[in-house]
Amino acid sequence: MRKVWFIALLLLALSAQAQVAQVWVSMPDSLCPYLNAQHRKVLWEQAARGVFDTIPNQLGGQSFITAIDKENNVLSVQLTQSMTMELTLQTDTIVLTETVCAPICSTLTRRYNYAWMLLSETRSPWDAEQTDEEKEQLF
C-alpha cells in the first residue's frame, strides 16, 4: 500500500512539473517579449536538468530561470538585470508577477485563466523592502 501512495505522489509531482513547463512554454509571446516560446523551452529544459545557464534574450540581454518550486507550482525567472517574473499556477488561474527595479521597484501582478484571458491586474508602485526615502522619490 505504501508503494501505491509513493507512486501516486511521484506521479502528482511529475504532473505538476509538466504543467508548469507547459504553461511557461505556451505563454503568449506578448506577455514575455524578452523570450519567445523556443527560448522559454530551452531555459526550462536546462533548468529541469539542474543547469541554470543564461541565454540571450530578444532585447540583447541575458535571461535565466532562478528557481523552480515544484511543490507550489512556481517558476521564477530573471528576464533582465532589473526585471524578474514569477509564474504561479493555482487551481483555476495563472498568476504572473513582474517586478522591475530601476532603482525604485514596481510590481505588476496579473491573473489569467488557463486560456490566457486576463482576469485581473494590480500594480504596486514600490516594493515593501524599499525605504521611506526611496518611496518619497516617486512623488
pLDDT by residue (tens digit) across 13-55?
334 444 899 999 999 999 999 999 999 999 999 988 888 889 9
Cα angle: 49, vertex 70, 36; to 5 degrees: 60
In the chain, which residue ranges form alpha helices assigned H by DSSP?
2-26, 37-48, 132-136
pLDDT in tens, 109-136: 999 999 999 999 999 866 555 555 655 5
State the cell numbers at 131: 525605504
pTM value is 0.74
- How big is the chain, counted in residues? 139
